[in-house]
Amino acid sequence: MIAVLFGALSAVFFGAGDFVGGFASRRVTAMLVTGLAALAGVIALTIAAPFDGGVWHAETWAGGVGTGITSCLGIWLLYSAYSVGPMTTLAPAVAIVSTLVPMAAGLLTGETFSSLGWASVAIGLIAIALVAAAPDSRASKARPIDMVKASVAGAFLGLFYIYLDGGFGNVYVDEAGLTPIMANRITCVVIAFLVVALLAARGRRILVDERLTQTKPPLRFTVGTSSRGPAVVEPTNALPAATATLTRERPTASAANRSKVKRIVLASAVGLAMLSGTFDATANALFTVGLGFGDLAVLSVVSGFYPAVTIGLAFLILRERPNRLQTVGIVLSLIALVGISLA
pLDDT in tens, 87-113: 988 988 898 888 888 888 878 877 777
Q: Cα–Cα distance between 180 and 281 in angstroms, integer?
A: 12
Q: Please tell me what DSSP assigns to residue 307.
A: H
Q: Are 30 and 80 in contact (CB under 8 A)?
A: yes
Pairwise CA distance, residues 151 & 94, whole Å = 5
220-268 confidence digits (pLDDT tens): 444 444 444 444 444 444 444 444 444 444 445 566 777 777 888 888 9
Query: Domain-by-domain residue ranges, the chain?
Result: 2-215+273-342
What confidence tens digit (pLDDT) does each residue in 131-147 have? 776 554 555 567 889 99
SS3 245: strand
How far is it, in rounded angstroms, from Cα 264 to Cα 158? Answer: 35
Residues 6+ away with beta carbon under 8 Å from 172: 55, 57, 59, 60
The pLDDT value recorded for residue 191 is 95
How far are the Cα atoms of 26, 259, 270, 288 from residue 212, in angstroms, in the given order? 11, 11, 16, 40
Position 125, amino acid: L
Asked if pLDDT for residue 5 goes beyond 70, the answer is yes
